[in-house]
């Protein structure tokens, strides 16, 4: 382990959290398409979404869709509240596509 650290291969350590115990039993994968191209609006959109506790992964893509998110919430009602209260209505958001996770087959987290 020490050699891996010294070589820069190991960059840190972290705790793995059981989100289901904390009430995050539903994982939803979200694709977002945007309707704007000005950098200020996109930066505001990214800052807003990245600040949400429910968002556990957030990526900007090179193609359509423009963004990919993984979100953890308690249940479908909590996801509906998240989507309608926090995502829809953000300036620049044109389309939101939600895909609830049925089963995790392989996770590298």
Tens-place pLDDT, residues 28-80: 999 999 999 899 999 999 999 999 999 999 999 999 999 999 999 999 999 99
Residue 107's pLDDT is: 80
> Is 70 exceeded by the pLDDT of residue 15?
no
pLDDT tier at 24, thresholds 50, 70, 90: low
Residue 80's pLDDT is: 97
**Choice between 108 and 70, residue whose per-residue pLDDT is larger:** 70
> Is 90 exceeded by the pLDDT of residue 5?
no
Characterize the bridge pairing of strands 26-34 and 55-60.
Answer: unpaired
Could you give the CA distance from residue 100 to residue 87 in angstroms, rounded to a whole number? 16
* Biggest alpha carbon–alpha carbon distance for the chain: 50
Residue 9's pLDDT is: 84
**Choice between 15 and 85, residue whose per-residue pLDDT is larger:** 85
Cβ proximity of 54 and 69 under 8 Å: no
Tens-place pLDDT, residues 89-105: 999 999 999 999 898 88
Q: Strand 67-73's sheet: what is its strand order? A: 55-60, 67-73, 26-34, 93-100
Cβ proximity of 33 and 66 under 8 Å: yes
Who's near 15: CB < 8 A, 6+ residues apart? none
Answer whether 0.85 is exceeded by the pTM: no
Ranges of H-type helices in the chain: 2-6, 39-50, 76-82
Backbone angles phi, psi at 82, to 5 degrees: -65, -50
Could you give the CA distance from residue 105 to residue 91 in angstroms, rounded to a whole number? 35
């Amino acid at each position: 382990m020490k050699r891996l650290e010294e070589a820069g291969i190991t960059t840190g350590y972290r705790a793995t959290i059981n989100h289901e115990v904390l009430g995050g039993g539903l994982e939803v994968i979200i694709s977002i398409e945007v309707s704007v191209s000005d950098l200020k609006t996109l930066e505001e959109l990214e800052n807003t979404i990245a600040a949400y506790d429910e968002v556990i992964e957030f990526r900007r893509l090179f193609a359509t869709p423009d963004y990919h998110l993984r979100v953890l919430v308690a249940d479908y009602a909590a996801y509906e509240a998240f989507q309608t209260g926090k995502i829809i209505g953000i300036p620049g958001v044109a389309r939101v596509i939600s895909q609830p996770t049925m089963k995790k087959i392989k996770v590298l987290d």
